[in-house]
Structures are given as C-alpha cells and as structure tokens.
Structure 1
Amino acid sequence: MAEIRVENLNKSFGEFTAVRDESFTVPDASFFCLLGPSGCGKTTTLRMIAGLELPTAGRILLGGEDVAFKRASARDIAFVFQLFALYPHMNVRRNIGFPLLCQGVAAAEIKARVEETAKLLRIDQLLDKPVSGLAGGDRQRVALGRAIVRRPLAFLMDEPLGTLDTEFRDLMCAELRGLHERIKATTVYVTHDQLEAMSMADRIAIMNKGRIEQLGSPQEIYDRPATIFVADFVGSPAMNLIEVGGGLAKGARILALADAIIAIPELREDAPAEDLVLGARPEHIRFDDASSYRGEVFGSEYLGTLQIVTVKVPQGRLKVKLPASQVVRSGEQVGLNFLADRLSLFDKDSGRALRSALHDVR
C-alpha cells in the first residue's frame, strides 16, 4: 500500500470549476472519506486520483510518484463503483479472478488468490454461484473481492453502498471497516452519507462547492466545526444555529440572546462582525427553569432511550436531546441552558468559526 498526496488540485469543465485548489494527504493504510452533498466535487476528485479524469492543475502523488497525468492502467489503483459493475454471465469465482486473468497470472495462482480473497470476505461458499442470483450485499462483496484480489497500492470507492437498503448498508459499513482493519489498505471513500463517513473513516474531508471546508477526524469535525456549512451538514439532528447581533470583544464570556445573558467560551480574537451565529449541538442544551432564555415546546420525537424535543424561541426553533424518561408536553413554557464550553461562534458573512468547543479554529 502507499500514501496518497494531493497538492493544489483543480478541475474545470469549460467555465465551471468542479474542484478548487484541493490539498490533502491520505497516510499509508488509512481510511479516508470525501464527504459532501451532491455536486460538491468529491467524485470528480476521486476520478482524478484514479486517472479517469485529468486535472486542470495540481499534483497527485501515489507512493511519492506524481501520477496526475498517467493513465488509469498505470496507477495500480483499484476502483469500486456504486453499481457493482459485475459480469452477469460469470459466476462469483470468475468475476473475482477476471482482473488476474487479464494480467496473465497463472491459473493456479488465480485459484489460490480468489479463494483467499473470498474467505477474507466470507463469501467462499458462493464461489460457484451465478452473481445474478445474489443479494445486494453479497454482490458488493464480489465487487470488493475483484478489487482486493489485485493487491493494488490503494482502493478508491465511489458510494459503494448507495444502492443497498438500510439494513444491508449498516451491515456493510461494519464489514468494510473490519476488512480495512484486516488488510490495512489505503482507502479513499466517497459518500454523501455522514453516518457512513463518521462510522468508518480515520479522517474526513468535508467538501462544499468544489472546496474542502474542513479536514480532520470524525470527532474533531463533530466537536469543532470550522464553518457554518460543516456545523449544519454534520450531525443528526444538525447543530442549532442562532443568529445574534452585535460584535464581541476579545476575552468576552457572555452574549446577549433575546432578553437573556448566556455564557460562551472565551474569545481569543475580536468578533467585530455585526452578524454572528451561535452554534449549539442538541445534546448541549438543557431544560432549566431558572434560565431567563425561554421557549415553548413544539413537539418531540422518541428514539428509544432519547427524545428530540423541538422548542420555539424568538430566533426560530431549536432541537434539544433529552432522556426519553423526561416528561415533556407540547405548549409547555421552558427555560433553556447552554453548556458554555461546548458552544461554537461563527461569523455569518464568512461562515468561519471564531470560537468552537474549547478550540480555536483559524
């Protein structure tokens, strides 16, 4: 396996720029996710790494070698597509072994490597079955097997679980992560599903409009979003975003919100913007009768041990996570208390975080 390094990568289609000045590193044997909404440039980035698209500018280094303008066949990279791309007239054994057959590998070695790969993927009992009769999860394992059997430098996966139903998708997330731990493959995985990315990735690049908005571990991105877009995109429910007026001086520890004063993390820089946005995760808000920041309960959703309560406040609606055992009634007037050291503060115009969960974002 090998490290992948992308430096100042750009891709334009005529006047439209799909990828803008991208730079990131995928360490050897790590699981890296490109996460973002449709049209953000993540698949275009993956296709450039694979050699299926040529960059307009920038470098792509695979194991230290610049491969940006090499053919896909010369990059020793395996690509797993969303729609499996299996050969329906072949059985599982022949599908998995086909890349080796094309490379002229001896029949005995093909047989050994196919059986080894099938055992790794727990589909060895299916080797002589036609792929047309397999369930979606098993077909995806065959597609993975065809990539693994080549023993490439890196694996690229473009939303490989997108066509599976929820049950199979959850199962395959666990299977993919377990497979990664067993074979230690350098993997770049594209998805628009934050749950897939958060459950599998070592590091995530959040993309929006062709740019990387934030790069970090799943925990870093969730706890310390670098922009309003990331705060709104990651999390279920998303971070509550409350518009507040007036600037704040360096070292400020309080913020006026409606008729209430709430505590916030200490600012390390001035926030002179007139329009600021306060961010609070639903689990970082509590009901507190003593609080002067008030709202009215609009409704609640029960999720087993938790409930998500929607509260109408002067600035809109907030989502609050509470224990399911806590009694909440629609129309009830409640006080809200924020966990100060878990809040984020953003500049509305730039979208940049000024202060985020005990950590500066610069």
Structure 2
Amino acid sequence: MAEIRVEKLEKAFGDFVAVRGVNFTIPDGAFFCLLGPSGCGKTTTLRMIAGLELPSSGRIFLGGEDVAFKRASERDIAFVFQLFALYPHMNVRRNIGFPLLCQGVPSSEIKTRVEETAKLLRIDHLLDKSVSGLAGGDRQRVALGRAIVRRPLAFLMDEPLGTLDTEFRDLMCEELRHLHDRIKATTVYVTHDQLEAMSMADLIAIMNNGVVEQLGTPQEIYDRPATLFVADFVGSPAMNLIPVADRLSKGAEALTLSGARIAIPEMREDAPGEALVLGARPEHIRFDDASGYRGEIFGTEYLGTMQIVTVKTVGASVKVKVPASINVTAGEQVGLAFLGDRLSLFDKGTGRALRSALHDGAHHG
C-alpha cells in the first residue's frame, strides 16, 4: 500500500473552479474520507487522484511518485463507484476475476485469488450465482471484490453505499471498516453522509466550495470545528450557533448573552466586535433555573434514553440534549447553562474559529 499526497490541487471547468488549492497527506494504510455537500469538489478531487480527470494544476503523489498527469491505467489504484457497474451476463466469479483476466494473470492464480477475495467478503457461497439476482448488499460486495482482487496501492470509493437502504448501509459501514483493517489498504472514500465518515474514517477532509475547510480526526472535527461551516455540517443535531454582540479582547474569559455572563475558554487573540458567533454542542448545555440566559421550550424529540429539546431564546433557537427522564412542557420558561470549557467562538465575517484553550492543536485545511 502507499501514502497519497496532494499539493495545491486545482481543477477548473471553463470559468468554474471546482477544486482550489487543496492540500492533504493520507498516511500509508489510512482510511481517509472526503466529506461535504453535493457540488463541493470531493468527487472531482477523487477523480483526479484516480486519473479519471487531469488537474488544471498541482501535484498528486502515489507512493512517492508524481502521477498527476498519468492516465488512470498507469496508476496502481482500484475505483469503486456508487453504481455497482457489474457485468450482468457474467456470474459472481467471472465479475470478480475480470480485472485479472484483462491483465493476463494465469487462470489457476485467478481462481485462487477470486476464492480468497470472496471468502474475505463472505460471498464465497455466491461465486457461481448470476449477479442480476443478488440483493444490493451482495452486489456491492461483488463490486468491492473486483477492486480488492487486484491488490492495488490504493482503493478509491465514490459514495459506494449511496444506493443501499439504511439498515444495509449501517451493516456495510461496519464491514467496510473491518475489511480495511484486515487488508491494511490505503482507502480514499467520498461521502456526503457525516455518519458514514465519522464511523469509518481515521482522517476526514471536509470540503466546501472547492476548498478543504478542515482536516482532522473525527474527534478533532467534532470537538474543535475550524469554521462555521464545519460546525453546522458535522453533528446530529448540528452545533448550536448563537450570535454574540459582545466585544472581546485577548484574555477574556467570559461573554455576555442576553444580559447573562457566559464563561468561555480564555481568548488567545482579540476578537472582532459585533460579528461573533458562540458555538455549543447540544450535549454541552443543561437546564439551570439560576441562569440568566433564558428561553421558552418549543418542542421535544425523543431518542430512547435521551431527548433533544428545542428552546427559543432571544436571537436563536437552541437545541439541548438531556436525559429523557427530565420532564419538559412546551411553553415552559427555562434557564440554560453552558459547559464553558467545551464552547467554540467564531468570527462571523470570515467563518473562522477563534483560538481558545480547546482549539489549540486543531488541524486546518
């Protein structure tokens, strides 16, 4: 397997710039996710790594070799598409073995490698079945098998679970990660589904409007979002983003919200005035009758042992995650308290997270 390094990667289609100045390094054997909304540039980036699109500028290193302007056939990678792209007239065995047949591998070796791969994917009992009669999850395993059988330097996957229903997708997420751990493959995985990325990835690059907004582990991205976009995109529900009118200077340890004093991690730099946003995850807020920051309960969503309570406050609708055993009533007035050391603060103008105690050490794209 191999390290993949992307430097200053750009791709323009006429006047439209789809990818701009993208940099990241994927360590050998890592499971790396490109995460973002439709049209953010993630699939274009993947296709450039694969050689299916040539970059307008920039460099792509695969195992130390610059392959930016080499054709796909000259790169030792395997691509798994969202649509299974199987040959309906061939059975499972012939579908998996087809890439080896094209490479001129001896039939005895093809047979051995196909059977090893099918066993790894738990579809060895289906080898002589027609692919057209298989369930969606099994067809996706066949598509994965066709990629794995080649033993490439890297696997590139473009929303491979997008057509599966929720139950199958959750199962395949687990299986894909276990498979990755067994074969120690360098994997680049494109998805718009944050739950897929957060559950499978070692590293995530979050893309928006053609740029990488943040690069980090799932935990870093969840705990220390680098931008307002990341804070709003990652998390279910997303981070609460509350406008702040306070002016804050370096060293400030609190801000004022609707007349209430809210403790924050100590500021490491001056914050621009009148354009700040306070970020708080729903689980980092609790009900507190003594708090001066108050609102009215609007609604409740039950999640088994927990519940998400929406509270309407001045200037914001705040979601609070609390145990389901806490009784709340629509229209009830409540006070809200924040876990000060877990809060984020953003510059509304630039969208950038301002440095605080919790933001030290975060990775930025």
TM class, shorter-length: over 0.9
One-letter amino acid of the structure 2 residue matched with residue 228 of structure 1: L
Which residue matches 2:209? Answer: 209
1:283-362, aligned counterparts within 5 Å?
283-355=283-355, 358-360=358-360
Contact 1:205 1:214 survives alignment (8 Å): yes
Whether the 8 Å contact between 1:246 and 1:272 is mirrored in structure 2 is no
CA distance in 1, matches of 2:5, 2:125: 39
The equivalent residue for 1:89 is 89
TM-score (norm 2): 0.98
**Cα distance in 2 between the residues matched to 1:172 and 1:73:** 28
Residue deviations 1:228-264 (CA, integer Å, cap 9, x gap):
0000000000000001113201110111101211111
Aligned residues: 362
- Is contact 2:240-2:282 (8 Å) kept? yes
- Identify if the C-alpha distance between structure 1 residues 285 and 192 changes in structure 2 by more than 3 Å, giving closer, same or farther: same
Is the 8 Å Cα contact of residues 214 and 225 (structure 2) preserved in structure 1? yes
Matched, 1:237 2:214: no
**Alpha-carbon distance in structure 1 between the residues aligned to 2:164 and 2:14:** 35
Give the drift of 1:358. Answer: 1.6
Q: Residues 273 and 347 of structure 1 are in contact (CA less than 8 Å); yes or no, is this contact kept in structure 2?
A: no
Question: Matches of 1:320 and 1:357 in 2, distance apart?
Answer: 23
**Correspondence 1:44 to 2:65:** no
Task: Report if aligned partners of 1:265, 1:355 keep a CA contact under 8 Å in 2.
Answer: no
4+ long deviations beyond 3 Å:
none
Q: Structure 1 residue 274: deviation in Å?
A: 2.2
**Which amino acid is 2:31 matched to?**
F
Cα 1:303–1:356 shift into 2, 3 Å:
farther
CA RMSD of aligned residues (A): 0.9
Cα distance in structure 2, aligned partners of 1:22 and 1:103: 33
Q: In structure 1, how many angstroms separate the alpha carbons of the residues matched to 2:109 and 2:217?
A: 39
Give distance in 1, aligned partners of 2:110 and 2:267. Answer: 61
Q: Which runs of 5+ in 2 are unaligned?
A: none
Aligned to 2:105: 105
Unaligned runs of 5+ in 1: none
AA of the residue aligned to 2:190: V
- What percentage of residue pairs aligned between the two structures are identical? 82
2:133 corresponds to which residue?
Answer: 133
Q: Give me the TM-score of the superposition, normalised by structure 1.
A: 0.99
1:158-307 aligned at under 5 Å gives the runs: 158-307=158-307
For residues 352 and 68 of structure 1, what CA distance do their matches in structure 2 show? 31
Residue in 2 that maps onto 1:70: 70
Counterpart amino acid of residue 156 in structure 1: L
Cα deviations by residue, 1:51-108 (Å, 9 ceiling, x for unpaired): 0000000000000000000010000100000001000011000000000000010010
